[in-house]
Amino acid sequence: MLGLAVVVSVTAASQQVGDDLGSCVVVALTPELLNNCSLVIRLRGGTITGQFATSPGPAPKPLALTGGTGAYRNVGGEGTLVEFGNDKGSLTLHVLNFAPRGKGA
């Protein structure tokens, strides 16, 4: 089994607000290179976790937000990773709060 790990900074309004740790495991070499990837976004107040499958190339890669800790313990949602090359890219997240609501919650 082969793998890859990365750490990058997370910015908002040009300010660093956390970091992103990700790793991918190669699950198939043919007919194309396929990876199973996970990520942890560390922010003040907790973390957000996600997973996605990927293959090489510039195509946008959809990902699922699978949960979190602390202030983000009730989150889910989805996102898109776009790789520009030269170790640059963009990660857009659509974060939803699944906190219980109503009586008895």
Distances 82 to 3, 47, 85, 89 between C-alpha atoms, Å: 20, 21, 9, 5
Model confidence, pTM: 0.78
CATH number at 13 reads 2.40.480.10
Give the model's pLDDT for residue 104.
57
User: Residue 105: inside a domain, yes or no?
Assistant: no
The 10s digit of each residue's pLDDT in 81-90 is 888 877 777 8
Using CA atoms, how far apart are residues 48 and 34, in angstroms rounded to an integer?
A: 24
Split into its structural domains, the chain has a count of 1
Residue 7 lies in domain: 3-97
Label residue 40 by pLDDT band (50, 70, 90).
very high
Distance of CA 73 to the CA centre of its chain: 15
Question: Do the domain assignments include residue 103?
Answer: no
Residues with Cβ within 8 Å of 49's Cβ and at least 6 positions away in sequence, in order, are 38, 39, 40, 41, 65, 66, 67, 68
Residue pair 56/35 in contact by the 8 Å Cβ criterion: no
